[in-house]
């Protein structure tokens, strides 16, 4: 069990180095810790809890409201480390995605999945997926399981707009294009796979329905929909919804390691920066969990401000969550977000901490994908 924990927390090269040299510090070269961070989220935790001014002015903070905090990272090297910690803090052991260009302009583009498990009893698998549709952008990729040779596992991709496609790498090995309707699928929400229901899910534009695809969906088949019922909302929730009525919103489904389903509503707004350019910043998150009456035919969603020891990660990719005890530096009951801006949202205090870099620009990264998938 101890060895498994080490494999999850450390990258292989870091693990060997850390075990050999126990005096190696843990999270940042810029702050004189380690040039190869063993616990990358310790750096984020340190940034979140830093005083108003520290590190010789390289990090400053500003409380712009009772529910909002800005952290300015005024050092380029440090901002790179924070960006790296927020985007590669977790990776599935032995799993890599290769994409020559995440926008496909010709039939020569292909997506490659490499799985090199650390367990010697498991077989290495390299899968070359079929060519992607011309002139499309991958928003996120989802798999029904880790790659297994000669087994029936399914890859799902959410393409630009509202297009969905599935592929069985060791079956027909072709893209199964789903006949989606643009007015029904939120173009900025992400596709996910529920291991409990054995389905691919994505919320509708209004957020009141779930579009789902079965593992055996056929070419040009229309997606199916199930209801999400939001019962017994507290009065305070309606007041909060009124406050974000002018914000944009995306919904992201995420399943906990124990099979608990959550719906995350991500609110953002446009603002002018100091150079009079528009920037998109996160304003608020709201989380709903599936109630006990939920099943594969309908979901009863219950508002919650307490997800326990869990942390939720959202970005341009399948949302996921892990226990905070999974890695040093993670804060429980929080949402870590990346994309147009990076930051952490505390569900209990409803406080949003947003990270900024020089020239008062939000720390951001729009590459595919944002969050790497978590360990299985």
On whether the CB atoms of residues 227 and 204 are closer than 8 A, the answer is: no
The percentage of the chain sitting over the pLDDT mark of 90, rounded to a whole number, equals 28
Would you call 241 helix, strand, or coil by DSSP? Answer: helix
Among residues 30, 116, 38, the alpha carbon closest in space to that of 79 is found at 30
- Write down the pLDDT at residue 20: 33
The span from the CA of 148 to the CA of 118, in Å, is 14
Residue 197: pLDDT band by 50, 70, 90 thresholds? very high
- Write down the pLDDT at residue 99: 59
- Write down the pLDDT at residue 6: 25
The span from the CA of 343 to the CA of 339, in Å, is 9
pLDDT digits (tens, 9 = 90+) for 354-363: 999 876 788 9
**Residue in this structure with the two tokens 């994309």, named with its chain if needed:** 339
For residue 45, give the H/E element and its range. helix 40-48
Q: Is residue 174 scored above 90 in pLDDT? A: no
- Write down the pLDDT at residue 93: 56
pLDDT digits (tens, 9 = 90+) for 292-308: 888 888 999 999 999 99
Give the CA-trace dihedral at 314, 315, 319, 322, to 10 degrees. Answer: -50
Winning range, highest mean pLDDT, from 4-8, 12-16, 142-146, 158-162? 142-146
pLDDT digits (tens, 9 = 90+) for 237-282: 999 999 999 999 989 999 999 999 999 999 999 888 777 778 888 9
Q: Is residue 374 scored above 60 in pLDDT? A: no
- Write down the pLDDT at residue 30: 54
pLDDT digits (tens, 9 = 90+) for 94-147: 677 665 544 444 455 667 887 777 677 778 888 888 887 677 778 888 899 888
pTM: 0.84
Q: Is residue 68 scored above 80 in pLDDT? A: yes
Residue 373: pLDDT band by 50, 70, 90 thresholds? very low
Q: Which residues, 6 or more positions from 335, have their beta carbon under 8 angstroms from its beta carbon? A: 264, 285, 287, 311, 312, 313, 314, 344, 345, 347
User: Which residue would you say has higher pLDDT here, 165 or 98?
Assistant: 165
pLDDT digits (tens, 9 = 90+) for 199-214: 999 998 888 899 999 9
């Amino acid at each position: 069990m101890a060895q498994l924990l080490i494999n999850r927390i450390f990258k292989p090269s870091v693990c060997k180095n850390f075990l050999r040299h126990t005096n190696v510090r843990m999270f940042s070269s810029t702050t004189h810790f380690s040039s190869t961070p063993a616990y990358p989220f310790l750096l984020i935790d340190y940034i979140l809890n830093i005083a108003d001014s520290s590190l010789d002015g390289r990090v400053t903070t500003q409380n712009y409201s009772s529910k909002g905090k800005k952290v300015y990272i005024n050092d380029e090297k440090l901002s790179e480390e924070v960006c790296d910690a927020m985007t590669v803090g977790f990776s599935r052991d032995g799993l890599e995605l290769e994409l020559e260009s995440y926008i496909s302009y010709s039939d020569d583009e292909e997506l490659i999945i490499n799985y090199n498990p650390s367990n010697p009893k498991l077989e290495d698998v390299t899968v070359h997926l079929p060519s992607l549709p011309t002139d499309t952008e991958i928003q996120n990729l989802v798999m029904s399981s880790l790659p297994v040779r000669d087994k029936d596992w399914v890859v799902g991709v959410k393409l630009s707009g509202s297009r969905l496609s599935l592929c069985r790498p060791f079956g027909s090995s072709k893209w199964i294009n789903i006949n989606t309707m643009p007015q029904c699928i939120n173009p900025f929400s992400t596709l996910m796979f529920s291991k409990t229901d054995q389905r691919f899910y994505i919320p509708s534009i209004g957020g009141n329905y779930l579009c789902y695809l079965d593992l055996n969906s056929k070419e040009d088949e229309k997606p199916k929909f199930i209801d999400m019922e939001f019962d017994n909302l507290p009065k305070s929730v309606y007041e909060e919804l009124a406050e974000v009525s002018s914000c944009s919103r995306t919904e992201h489904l995420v399943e906990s390691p124990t099979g608990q389903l959550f719906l995350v509503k991500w609110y953002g707004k446009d603002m002018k920066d100091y150079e009079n350019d528009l920037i998109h910043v996160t304003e608020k998150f709201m989380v709903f969990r599936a109630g006990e009456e939920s099943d594969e035919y309908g979901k009863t969603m219950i508002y919650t401000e307490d997800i326990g020891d869990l942390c939720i990660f959202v970005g341009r990719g399948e949302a996921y969550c892990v226990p905070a005890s999974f890695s040093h530096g993670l804060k429980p009951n929080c949402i870590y977000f990346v994309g147009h801006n990076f930051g952490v949202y505390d569900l209990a205090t409803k406080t949003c901490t947003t990270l900024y870099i020089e020239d008062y620009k939000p720390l951001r990264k729009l590459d595919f994908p944002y969050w790497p998938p978590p360990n299985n």
